[in-house]
Amino acid sequence: MLLYRIGPEGFYASTDEEGALRVLHSDPFESRPGGWELGRELGDGPLGLLAPVVPGKIVGVGRNYRAHAEELGNPVPEEPVLFLKSPSSVVGPKSPVVLPPESERVEFEGEIAVVLRHRLQRAEPAEARHAILGLTCACDVTARDLQRRDPTFARAKSFDTFCPLGPAIQVEPDLDEVEVVTRINGEERQRGHCREMLWGILDLLSYASRMMTLEAGDVVLTGTPAGVGPLVDGDALEVEVSDVGVLECGVEGWRRS
């Protein structure tokens, strides 16, 4: 089942067995998808989809695919390299990524994003499985020049619009068979399978939960496969995750408003 958040109010909607999108009357963080109460069907008109979650924090992991670590000239780390990305960087589907004037090299990183259903603290991987609300598509947009120049990733990862999320959360994911594909202007640039991760989804959640308490609605980005590259004004960015759908975003140069 897919969980959407509809604008401008931000209510939840989900697909029924026939695939029709209906208003969700249940709290997706409090009840399991099988028990969800669905209301009226949403019409065929254009729906303003919002980012499917408003995270309290976004945890990223660097170099979780061997080939990506190598393409950036980095050694494969002995432990996951965690970083934080500001929640203010989140935008929903179809919202543009805006290239900030402080960077001359902004790059895409298509990723599988995990959304937490409830709190997780010093958890074992098996416990982490039950804390997952679902998976969605993310682009961990990165100002690569600033990432190389700065002692921390904070600035390079956190500009406004640097975390497109959506279009929906797959709330019944197959955690052993997830693939992420990134396309720029329709051309495939990245393809990664969760089997290729150095630390799998449950191990990552378990590891992160030892360093900081993960809360309901928090998002964990699971790293990007090889093939990262620059975004320029006018690009059409797509990130597709198995059983989720395609997150589509435009890219805009900086215009003073």
User: Distance between CA 158 and CA 163 in Å, rounded?
Assistant: 8
Q: Across 7-116, where does the E strand assignment appear?
A: 11-15, 21-24, 38-41, 49-50, 58-62, 81-85, 90-91, 97-98, 106-108, 110-116
Q: Give the shortest CB-64-to-Zn ion separation in angstroms.
A: 8
Binding footprint of Zn ion, residue count (CB under 5 A): 3
Rg (Cα) of the chain, in Å, rounded? 17
- Using the contact rule CB under 5 A, the part of the chain among 131-139, 147-155, 220-228, 234-242 near Zn ion is 220-228
Strand partners, 74: none
Number of separate helices (H) and strands (E) present in the chain: 5, 20
Q: Which is nearer to Zn ion, 47 or 72 (CB)?
A: 72
Q: Give the shortest CB-79-to-Zn ion separation in angstroms.
A: 16
Residue 90: CB partners within 8 Å, gap ≥ 6? 51, 54, 55, 58, 163, 164, 165
42 to 81: interface string for Zn ion, x by CB under 5 A: ----------------------------------------
Is the CB of residue 204 less than 8 Å from the CB of residue 130?
A: no
Is the CB of residue 179 less than 8 Å from the CB of residue 191?
A: yes
**Can you say how many angstroms the Cα of residue 33 is from the centroid of all Cα atoms in its chain?**
21
Q: Give the shortest CB-221-to-Zn ion separation in angstroms.
A: 6
**Binding positions for Zn ion, 145-204, rule CB under 5 A:** none
**Binding positions for Zn ion, 91-110, rule CB under 5 A:** 109
Q: Give the shortest CB-93-to-Zn ion separation in angstroms.
A: 19
- Using the contact rule CB under 5 A, the part of the chain among 99-107, 115-123, 135-143, 173-181 near Zn ion is 135-143
224 interacts with Zn ion by CB under 5 A: yes
Q: Which is nearer to Zn ion, 24 or 113 (CB)?
A: 113
Q: Which is nearer to Zn ion, 30 or 160 (CB)?
A: 160
C-alpha dihedral (17, 171, 161, 42), degrees to nearest 10: 20
Q: Give the shortest CB-141-to-Zn ion separation in angstroms.
A: 9
User: Distance between CA 170 and CA 133 in Å, rounded?
Assistant: 8
User: Distance between CA 128 and CA 204 in Å, rounded?
Assistant: 9
Q: Which is nearer to Zn ion, 95 or 190 (CB)?
A: 190
Quick one: which H or E segment has residue 80? none
Q: Which is nearer to Zn ion, 180 or 244 (CB)?
A: 180
Q: Which is nearer to Zn ion, 140 or 235 (CB)?
A: 140
Q: Which is nearer to Zn ion, 14 or 190 (CB)?
A: 190
Residue of this chain nearest to Zn ion (CB atom): 140
Q: Give the shortest CB-257-to-Zn ion separation in angstroms.
A: 28
Pairing of strands 58-62, 110-116: unpaired
Q: Give the shortest CB-19-to-Zn ion separation in angstroms.
A: 32
Using CB under 5 A, pick the residue from 107, 108, 140, 194 that binds Zn ion: 140
List residues binding Zn ion (CB under 5 A).
Answer: 109, 140, 224
